[in-house]
A and B are shown apart, each in its own frame.
Chain A
Amino acid sequence: MSTYKIAVIGDKDSILGFKTIGVDTFSVTSSEAALKALKQLVSDNYGVIFITEELARELEDIIADLQKRYLPAVVLIPNSKGTLGIGIEQIKKNVEKAIGADILFRKEG
């Protein structure tokens, strides 16, 4: 069992607070920079990477790829402007993939 690190990628406004609770923060503004940071973190022994939905929207492919892997866990978080609903959308997609029909959200939708 080795030690891993935790990181958060996002715009400055959203992630500055994370620094105080001991999470490594990487503030980026463009999706290219986010992609670079993400690739760096993946090869850098990070176990959990939080990334804001706004940036994740641009990096759908690589994130989907990472999510099939054992590690790292990429978790989408809302940013300071609120949630975009991508995280929930992903859960829905997982349900559809596994079961073939959306059984969790059907009642509300």
Chain B
Amino acid sequence: MEIRVNPTRMELNRLKRRLKMAERGHKLLKDKRDELIRQFIILVRKNKDLREHMEEELTGAFSKFLLARAVMPEENLEEALMYPTKKLSLDISKENIMSVYAPKFHWAEEESGGDGESSIYPYGFADTSAELDTSIETLSEILPKLMELAEVEKSVQLLAEEIEKTRRRVNALEHVLIPKLEDTIKYITMKLEENERGALTRLMKIKDVVRAKM
């Protein structure tokens, strides 16, 4: 398969330049892909570990919470949890991984309770059960991990997307554009050579004719 062009010397030079450019781009993209995959594998391993831990711990916290729910009247429970002591604020900055921009989360807890005492429990201990205490304690311990997981998982998703895109480009260059250019260059050189030979035989023939007349 070749591109339909006029078989001229100018076109040939142009195509040769394009081929060189395509090859350079191909090499660069291939390097980019390899580095992306390297980063991806590191991150995805981390992602897997984090997720497995998180799921385990969160399930534990939930089951404790269910227990708490079972031993406490529902109104009490809801009342106890109505006013959170903390407010989470989240700042996001961009992190550049091989020109893929991934969000980086910086989160901070703001105390909203007035007494300045940093208790994680928003309630008094009178009407609540111990199960609720432990479940909330585990939850607040898990939060940093959850945020980390959010960050890593997002990076992994964005990287996967970018790797797929880059791989497609590499393949398109390698299997479509570069062979096409090479074929066209070959076609033009052959055509030019053919023309040259044609011109040569014509000259020889004319020479013969002219000689015969003399």
Contacts and interface: CB of A to CB of B under 8 A. Distances in A.
A5 B89 CA distance: 6
Given A4-B90, A17-B135, A17-B139, A73 B154 contact: yes
Main secondary structure of the interface of A (DSSP, over half): mixed
A70 B44 contact: no
A3 B48 contact: no
B110 to A, nearest CB: 8
B139 A47 contact: no
Given A80-B66, A82-B59, A95-B44, A22 B84 contact: yes
Contacts of B78: 16
B49 to A, nearest CB: 10
Contacts of B61: 17
B77 interface: yes
Interface string B40-63: 110011011001101100110111
B62 to A, nearest CB: 4
Chain B: interface size category: 35 or more
Interface residues of A, number: 41
A99 B45 CA distance: 13
Given A6-B88, A73-B150, A75-B150, A91 B163 contact: no
5 contacts: A5-B88, A13-B65, A20-B86, A20-B122, A99-B40
Interface of B: 36-37, 40-41, 44-45, 47-48, 51-52, 54-55, 58-59, 61-63, 65-66, 69, 77-78, 81, 84-93, 101-103, 105, 107, 109-110, 120-122, 135-136, 139-140, 143, 146-147, 149-151, 153-154, 156-161, 163-164
